[in-house]
Structure 1
């Protein structure tokens, strides 16, 4: 190697490090939406606003719209009916339907935007547009008050479209800014950094919420302030990756003219047809969608399990959420270190084994024992981020060059489109058995199936099939 080649290689490595450092900040920025907005404040606040609106409309909708209990009180406001496009449903069901509707919209929008990003290669600009758009919608949720829950529904959907699209484009930068041997470490650092950011923002919001009386704000004001903080946090920290990331590929066919949207549809159609030529990539994606459904379900029902089955109060559940987020930071870093020695595939399989043990242990946690529940939360946090982070980096190895945003769009929306299986199994088992314990342990099937299927996916052959360089350890 000549001196000039050596200097160029050193410059390229320095540029990659600069972009990688900027890239991980978007995990820090966007993680507030799924954590603070979706998991903690969104569900409770929008349900309460919808219920209050239903209560106010009882005079118009009739007394049956908000039924009384045996003492003649209307304490269960979540049972009050609200009207959505002429369809009446309990206010308590609004959040579940809203999550499903937001997922459907993402399934329709995100792949098309991914195709446009690949075709035009304006990935940095599109990342900024959808990130700032989602952040703005999140911040504007602070305006939701009184009876205007419909505004909250609209803004939440827009925030999720911005989140899903920006994340898919964000993932597509991985092959551009990291070599095959750097991707596992980059992805796990990003995921760990994201959990650290989300827990810090959530801590600030919870301090305001828990000490709201001392601060002179109402419960609703504290929730609205959390929405505003989340939007500002998301937008502010997005500036860092936008300053450091750059364009790496020329436009794909944009010079032929015509509508960008029409060309995007054509690009997406061609990519979906061509994907059949890479069955091993699809096999990995199918395997991932199975075990990530289990991961998402555990994250979403753990509070319900702790509340309904184990009888814990809200303070225990909030502490549990913080433990999961905090430990997930160290879990992400640990997965990166292990993957450096064992490779991504083996580390994911090891992580899935830990998931099986943790879910099995959840079945035996006695009611009213918070310390054991906290230990369970730590176990979940240990594998929560790392499993997904290594799946993200491993999938990036199997994506054809120039199709990154489209494949990661399918990766992102596929995760959401299949996320109904775990909650359905959990709900069905709880209904059949009358207990959440069989329901929680039934989720082991997702991790065990993912473990078995992952064993049979030849990831090295999948990487060779798309023409990408293979990492030294896999």
Structure 2
């Protein structure tokens, strides 16, 4: 049994964000997408690449790969979470996905552009590892913090993730800009070495969390009955969600605005490269600014939620997100992009942190199978990413412009904002 609100335990739990957020920033946001575009364009002489003898635009292939990885998580998450809760294996599954993701990151070192199938496979496995570990990591939140501290603890986790990411991103920036100082032939080989650093960082620092977090209850033998337990538990969670109007409306709102949030975050580097013309080193600097501002954003919106309520805090972020998407359509120069990126960073930290803690507060206090509840939450988010990134890629493919994709994302935020008002969180969370 974990001791709630224990400072050492909270720090240990939060350190997992420090460990795995380097993947989310460096591999999915700052470096790998641009490295992927640059290397594939150099090998194939343009945007069109050959993927298992199919000709496809490189940016579209990447967005579809991200969608596919999250779709896999949607299918396996309910089974795994049921096993984790019922079999007392939540921590072990968290470890398995951590090792899968981090080793896949290390494997990206061998991606050089012509082996595009291998590069996409590694990026998919790394994405599965990252997303899968978060299901069980988030499931520990109600076990380490009581309701009144969840906003602050959730914000602490995200903030530690942003800080850790910035530290390793600075190292990668130095490697990229001054490769000769570190014994590399060029920026490309230094960038590839950066993927190894991400994997080692992820594995190494996650051991802090693993040493403190413990599964609740006795471990049980895995049988065929337990394999179906996750589906049964997910059905129970669905019934609970349906019976609680505020919870169901919040999750529907969360589903809609997550289509926009996660898609914009995942595919912003491709937008910056193709529509604004940002170079790799410029993009890294922009991402650094975003991460630093996101730290302040996470704590600001935790404070705002305490002052005005979770619903008000999330609604404020959604209004800013709508502005970001509409403004993105009209972006022409780098200076304006930097300014818009600052707004994106501010709300990025806020909306992720407050959404997680809001859902934790809506879970019935007597609940023991938290992994199943967070599996449902995770499925909602991952399905949103699948639909959002597919929409982004299809609009890009059909219209030939990511600006249209960016504008389309605002529809998801508007829908999420409207449904959030109907949830009346302030009344239902008192």
* TM-score after normalising by structure 2: 0.87
Distance 1:452 1:232 in 2: 43
For 1:31, which of 21, 24, 27 is the aligned residue?
A: 21
Distance 1:303 1:25 in 2: 26
**1:225 alignment partner in structure 2:** 193
**1:381 alignment partner in structure 2:** 345
Secondary structure of 2:228's partner? helix
Structure 1 range deviating more: 113-122 or 150-159: 150-159
Matches within 5 A, 1:454-469: 454-459=420-425
**2:130 alignment partner in structure 1:** 163
Secondary structure of 2:363's partner? coil
Structure 1 range deviating more: 169-178 or 148-157: 148-157
For 2:228, which of 254, 260, 265 is the aligned residue?
A: 265
Q: Tell me the number of residue pairs that the alignment of Structure 1 and Structure 2 aligns.
A: 422
Secondary structure of 1:442's partner? helix
Secondary structure of 2:31's partner? helix
User: Closer, same or farther in 2 for the Cα pair 1:136/1:441, shift >3 Å?
Assistant: closer
TM-fit CA distance, 1:460: 6.5
TM-fit CA distance, 1:413: 3.2
**2:311 alignment partner in structure 1:** 345
Matches within 5 A, 1:224-373: 224-247=192-215, 249-251=216-218, 259=223, 262-273=225-236, 275-279=238-242, 280=245, 281-365=247-331, 367-368=332-333, 370-373=334-337
User: Closer, same or farther in 2 for the Cα pair 1:28/1:114, shift >3 Å?
Assistant: same
Contact 2:83 2:222 in 1 (8 A): no
Contact 2:298 2:349 in 1 (8 A): yes
Structure 1 range deviating more: 420-429 or 292-301: 420-429
Larger radius of gyration: 1
Structure scoring higher RCO (CA < 8 A, sep ≥ 6) equals 2
Distance 1:320 1:185 in 2: 27
User: Closer, same or farther in 2 for the Cα pair 1:348/1:363, shift >3 Å?
Assistant: same
Distance 2:145 2:203 in 1: 25
- Do residues 20 (structure 1) and 10 (structure 2) align? yes
Distance 1:357 1:43 in 2: 25
TM-fit CA distance, 1:346: 1.7
TM-fit CA distance, 1:436: 5.2
User: Closer, same or farther in 2 for the Cα pair 1:436/1:98, shift >3 Å?
Assistant: closer
Secondary structure of 1:402's partner? coil
- Do residues 449 (structure 1) and 418 (structure 2) align? no
Contact 1:109 1:161 in 2 (8 A): no
User: Closer, same or farther in 2 for the Cα pair 1:264/1:344, shift >3 Å?
Assistant: farther
Contact 2:109 2:193 in 1 (8 A): yes
- Do residues 81 (structure 1) and 47 (structure 2) align? no
User: Closer, same or farther in 2 for the Cα pair 1:374/1:311, shift >3 Å?
Assistant: same
User: Closer, same or farther in 2 for the Cα pair 1:135/1:350, shift >3 Å?
Assistant: same
**1:212 alignment partner in structure 2:** 179
Deviations 1:427-465 (CA, angstroms, capped at 9, x unpaired)? 666678776555433322222211111111144776xxx
Instruction: Please give the root-mean-square deviation of Cα atoms over the aligned residues, in Å.
Output: 3.0
